[in-house]
Structure 1
Amino acid sequence: MNCAQGYWGADCKSRCSEGCTDIGCDKVTGSCFECDSGYHGFWGSNCSNICPNNCESCDKSSGTCLFCPNGFWGSNCSKPCSTKNCKMCDINTGFCKSCESGFWGPDCNYRCNNCSNIKCDISTGACETCPDGFAGENCNIKCEISTCLIWQCDKKQGFVCSSCLNGFWGTLCGKRCMPNGNCNYCDKTTGICDSCVSGYWGTVCEKKCSESDTCEYCDRNTGICNSCLSGYWGNHCEHGCPKNCDGNCHKSTGRCSCKHGFWGDLCERKCLAGDRCQYCSKTYGTCSACKNGYWDSLCEKECPIVCTGQCDRYTGKCSYCRPGLRDVNCNRTCIEKNCETCKGTGDSYSCTKCRAGYWGQGCENQCSSERCLECHMTEGRCILCEDGFWGNSCNQKCQNSCQCCSLTYGTCSAPHYCLRIHDRYHATESLSQIDYTLIIVGVILIVCSLVVLSLALGLFCYIKRRSKKREGAATSEDQNFAKQSGSYTEESERQDTVEISSLQTRKVNRSYMVQETNKVFEEEVDHESVVETDDTYENP
């Protein structure tokens, strides 16, 4: 008779032991076929006997340990493994089967060398993986790649340098081509120099191509210069290229392509049309193309101001009209106010480009959104959105992390593709505020300057008036003084005359009288002689 799972006995009423697995127990004896996972530490027919200490699980019939915890071995798992670095050893022999991280060997007494994950083979010590820059089974080979051009740094193959940088050779490119450092390339195996660095030649690149260092490359065997540095020419690169060369010049002749506005074998002459000529014949100097804004054979005439840029070289007619103008001579305006450029003559013309924000044949339609900076002229769909928006109507926002995005897909665009209109607006607004402030400050300074100037002029006039008064007073005093001096002089002269006359009268008792004038005539004689003489002379 078969009992239901979990029961045994003649009448199948006896329940299997709780330690039995779901497989159940023997229907006759009630012995468990296997002990349940929760009873790995037990053994016996009913899984009721406890396994020995340190035994993770034991034989169901005999109680002998089947698995020991890490670090122990033996039938009862009572013996410790031979070394402390052994993680797991054989339950029967005690030989180590697994070492702790970073160790290897039969007794786990060797350290792993330079393994990146601190794990190596227990028998050989070979690393599982190496850190960057190291190679070999034990990761003990450092990959020195500073002089290698092509290399391989591998755990199995080791470090292999298959090509060296310029100037180095050897298995691992660790040797310099020449001690003087003048060899550019040398054989990787022999180190024999194949090419010298710029400016040197000779067997070991010991000689300079030229003393002036103007020769770039010269023949390795003869030293004859093959190529000059930019801006020089000649057999030994001893001549400088003409100053008006556009770029380098020919090594043998010194000739070159001329800069705009010059011609001649050595670009020593100015074009006949002067600075207004863009290109001229290198042989004759006649102008072949004028600069923008000029026309005629010698480019002496200016293009009309209604032209945008260039005009016809021989007629002076505009190649393109300024925005809003049309006709052959650009002397008529586009009728539509929102038309930026139009094309045609007379009444037969059409608008070719609308002003920003408008579209249609006559530019009469407004773009669908204020965020649309430019829309298709015939379809009206937006072709240029304000930063931060996308779509045919610029009505979809870019992601928060985007400053601007693709018009079609909305994917983020690099910052240098953005228009930054808001930044320019705020910058303009700030500049306007600054300009307004500067205007106020300027007005204040002008007013202050006028006040200071008025005060200075007033002070100057006051000082000048005072000076004039002082000069007048001084002149009056001088005149009075002069009058007084004159009076005093006359009086003094009279007194002197009287005194002299008295003296002469006393001593001489003579006088000379002039009857016609009744004046005293004083003869120019010495006073002493007059005094000494006693003769009197009368005028008859």
Structure 2
Amino acid sequence: MRTTFDKMMYIFIAIYLSVWIVNGCRVGFYGDHCNILCPSHCAGNVCDNVTGTCFNCTDGWTGSVCISPCPINTYGRDCRMVCRGHCKHGCNHVTGTCDNGCDDGWQGKDCTKECAPGTYGGECNTTCGHCRAGGRCFHIDGRCPNGCDPGFEGKRCDDVCAVGHYGDGCSRQCNATTSCDHVTGICCGIPNTCSTQHCKFGGGLVAGLSVSFVVSVIVNAALSYKIFMVYCRE
């Protein structure tokens, strides 16, 4: 009388032989002598016993013999999943994670969050420039969509006005002979110092020189007149 163990062994041998006969080779092998391993990414390690082509691929792989990773920005079974976030160089073709970090302007585990307000760029570690009225810059490249605060220019508003210009859009000009504060236009006639007036009529040092010159002319004229009168009396 057969024991339970004998029955189980009989079933196992029957299944093993049926696989061998139907497929011609043991699972995981193919070829004329069934001595060639199936491609490593065949699902279940099963391939055609003659050609070695895979019936299905493991997650993240594609092709007849499953040696090609999923196309960029896709992953998973049959490469049917689309990467969720803005992964740099695409997501992991098997798991969908962002192994190489995020594209510029994005953050978070799956790179689905924009940079926090006031920051932009790679890893969101660059501070925005002087965007108008404290406005946000574009989280990817730092552009200021609404323009710059007075005294600044450039697409990211991180450049001060050129020398001789100031104010909104750097459109106002200082006096030609002086420099001025790039925001307020306060004159800087003497290097590294500013007066309290905007650059009008020469401003700062130039205005001072003009007054001195006029005073000097008046004093010299008065002295000349006095000398002339003394000479005439004699």
Query: Which TM-score bucket, shorter chain as reference?
Result: 0.3 to 0.5
TM-score, length of structure 2 as denominator length = 0.37
* Higher RCO structure, 1 or 2 (CA under 8 Å, sep 6+): 2
The structure where helix makes up a greater share of residues is 2
Indicate the structure (1 or 2) with the bigger Cα radius of gyration: 1
The structure where strand makes up a greater share of residues is 1
